């Protein structure tokens, strides 16, 4: 079998309302799907992390730079292809968009390998430790309104996420330490004392600001404090980890085993959050997972994007060994965005219906059982939303 063509599909639509996180507001949802076609009719699907115009640039990398390196190759040789592409891209980007682009291609190659073997991705990746994973719902995005309005909104939204059945919730911050602490207090009031909530700063703080917010989160019993400082600031991460009770998480903006090596060796994280659609795909994710476990750092995958990304992550969470193991080990969770996302809810011929599963089971999602990613995107849907 040979790869004949790689096609990127960038999908977009206008959100019903503008949403924000600490770095920007956005009014449009996008997704970047990658389709690898073969001479035997088998097709694999992957996804690249990166919204908006980033997705358009990544499409050019996928189709113009990577495609000529992969056409004619045996799709099952995914590690061979990965290293060949990476070695030739190395001089032009060891992190960021070239690796995001490679990620989508690699995920699609794993989808093909699963379809050839007749095995779901989790079995191909080493085996299925669990047949369902618990799901946490994130929401509580920033809006252009004052802190008091936003706090009231966050409180209501946290209650709604809890009532929807999710096992935990995650909020954004980014107004500045004093207002952010008010937001976190509102969420704790909303969910009550016994419910797990996490706080995501998207790297908007200096270390001293993060300490101020983190001390309040210690008092509120937050479960983790995500990307408190810039991803390059390993010293800041280390200092926060030493001085705060709340777990420090991060890593969604890190790439490949070589980037992750320094983050983990530096003991920067209590919880690692690798993003499979950015860090290099399934091939590289498995190496980063091994590296995280080598450093006894638990992993809760970062998840963003369409149903293709959600499916890939369901398989990877199913195939994740417990760390360190025991009768009642702490289990990984699936990250789930509760805000409007048609590319997750309506893309597939048979939708995953995570929200329905969560409501029915008290917070769990099952692992797709068909070969590969086990999902089939609807081509009519893609045609309707495709902008490039």
Q: Which is nearer to Ca ion, 130 or 143 (CB)?
A: 143
Q: Which stretch binds Ca ion (CB under 5 A): 84-92, 145-153, 192-200, 236-244?
A: 192-200
Site for Ca ion in 333-352 (CB under 5 A): none
Structure tokens at 195: 């419910």
* Rounded Cα distance, 55 and 29, in Å: 11
Phi-psi category of residue 117: left, alpha or beta, with phi > 0 → left and psi -120 to 50 → alpha: alpha
Kindly state the DSSP code that residue 66 receives in the 8-state scheme.
I
Q: Which stretch binds Ca ion (CB under 5 A): 93-101, 135-143, 199-207, 259-267?
A: 199-207
Q: Which is nearer to Ca ion, 111 or 226 (CB)?
A: 226
Distances 126 to 8, 303, 321, 366 between C-alpha atoms, Å: 28, 21, 9, 18
Half-sphere exposure of 128 (CA within 13 A, CB side): 15
CB of 36 to Ca ion, least distance (A): 28
CB of 10 to Ca ion, least distance (A): 22
Alpha helices in 192-270 (DSSP H): 207-220, 234-243, 256-265
Distances 14 to 19, 30, 341, 374, 377 between C-alpha atoms, Å: 11, 9, 10, 28, 20
CB of 158 to Ca ion, least distance (A): 17
Residue 359, classed as helix, strand or coil, is: helix
The interface mask with Ca ion, positions 103-122, x = CB under 5 A, is --------------------
CB of 273 to Ca ion, least distance (A): 7
Q: Which is nearer to Ca ion, 200 or 254 (CB)?
A: 200
Q: Which is nearer to Ca ion, 109 or 140 (CB)?
A: 140
Q: Which is nearer to Ca ion, 200 or 337 (CB)?
A: 200
Q: Residue 137: which of 312, 357, 378, 318 has the closest Cα?
A: 357
CB of 227 to Ca ion, least distance (A): 6
Q: Which of 32, 203, 293, 302 is catalytic?
A: 302
* Rounded Cα distance, 256 and 278, in Å: 9
The interface mask with Ca ion, positions 148-187, x = CB under 5 A, is ----------------------------------------
CB of 250 to Ca ion, least distance (A): 8
* Rounded Cα distance, 191 and 106, in Å: 39
Number of chain residues interacting with Ca ion (CB under 5 A) = 1
Question: 324: cis peptide before it, omega within 30°?
Answer: yes
Phi-psi category of residue 118: left, alpha or beta, with phi > 0 → left and psi -120 to 50 → alpha: left
CB of 116 to Ca ion, least distance (A): 34
Residue 16, classed as helix, strand or coil, is: strand
Q: Residue 350: which of 332, 368, 330 has the closest Cα?
A: 368
Q: Which stretch binds Ca ion (CB under 5 A): 82-90, 194-202, 203-211, 275-283?
A: 194-202
Q: Residue 196 pairs with which residues in a beta bridge?
A: 168
200 binds Ca ion (CB under 5 A): yes
- The yes-or-no answer on residue 302 being catalytic is yes
* Rounded Cα distance, 90 and 47, in Å: 21
Q: Which is nearer to Ca ion, 139 or 374 (CB)?
A: 139
275 binds Ca ion (CB under 5 A): no
Q: Which residue is nearest to Ca ion (CB)?
A: 200
* Rounded Cα distance, 316 and 135, in Å: 14
254 binds Ca ion (CB under 5 A): no
Q: Which is nearer to Ca ion, 200 or 239 (CB)?
A: 200
Contact residues toward Ca ion (CB under 5 A) are: 200
Active site residues: 302
């Amino acid at each position: 079998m040979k790869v004949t063509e790689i096609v990127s599909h960038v999908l977009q639509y206008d959100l019903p309302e503008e949403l924000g996180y600490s770095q920007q507001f956005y009014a449009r949802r996008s997704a970047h799907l990658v389709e690898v076609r073969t001479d035997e009719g088998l097709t694999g699907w992957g996804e690249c992390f990166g919204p908006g115009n980033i997705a358009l640039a990544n499409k050019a990398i996928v189709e113009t730079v990577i495609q000529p390196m992969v056409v004619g190759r045996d799709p099952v040789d995914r590690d061979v292809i990965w290293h060949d592409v990476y070695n030739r891209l190395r001089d032009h980007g060891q992190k960021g968009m070239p690796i995001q682009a490679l990620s989508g291609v690699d995920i699609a190659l794993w989808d093909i390998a699963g379809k050839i073997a007749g095995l779901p991705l989790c079995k191909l990746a080493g085996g299925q430790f669990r047949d369902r994973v618990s799901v946490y719902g994130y929401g509580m995005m920033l809006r252009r309104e004052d802190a008091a309005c936003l706090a009231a909104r966050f409180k209501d939204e946290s209650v709604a996420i809890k009532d929807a059945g999710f096992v935990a919730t995650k909020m954004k911050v980014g107004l500045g330490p004093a207002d952010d602490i008010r937001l976190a207090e509102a969420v704790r009031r909303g969910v009550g004392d016994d419910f797990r909530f996490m706080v995501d700063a998207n790297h908007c703080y200096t270390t001293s600001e993060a300490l101020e917010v983190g001390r309040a989160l210690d008092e509120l019993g937050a479960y983790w404090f995500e990307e408190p400082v810039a991803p390059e600031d390993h010293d800041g991460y280390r200092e926060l980890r030493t001085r705060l009770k709340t777990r420090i998480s991060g890593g969604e903006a890190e790439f490949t085993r070589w980037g992750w090596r320094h983050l983990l060796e530096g003991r920067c994280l209590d919880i690692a959050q690798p993003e499979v659609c950015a860090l290099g795909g399934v091939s590289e994710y498995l190496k980063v997972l091994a590296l995280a476990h080598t450093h006894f750092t638990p992993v809760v995958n970062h998840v963003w994007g369409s149903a293709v990304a959600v499916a890939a992550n369901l398989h990877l969470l199913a195939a994740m060994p417990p760390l360190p193991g025991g009768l009642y080990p702490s289990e990984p969770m699936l990250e789930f965005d509760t805000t409007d996302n048609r590319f997750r809810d309506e893309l597939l011929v048979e939708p995953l219906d995570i929200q329905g599963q969560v409501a029915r089971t008290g917070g769990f999602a099952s692992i797709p059982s068909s070969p590969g990613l086990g999902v089939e995107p609807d081509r009519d849907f893609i045609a309707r939303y495709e902008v490039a």
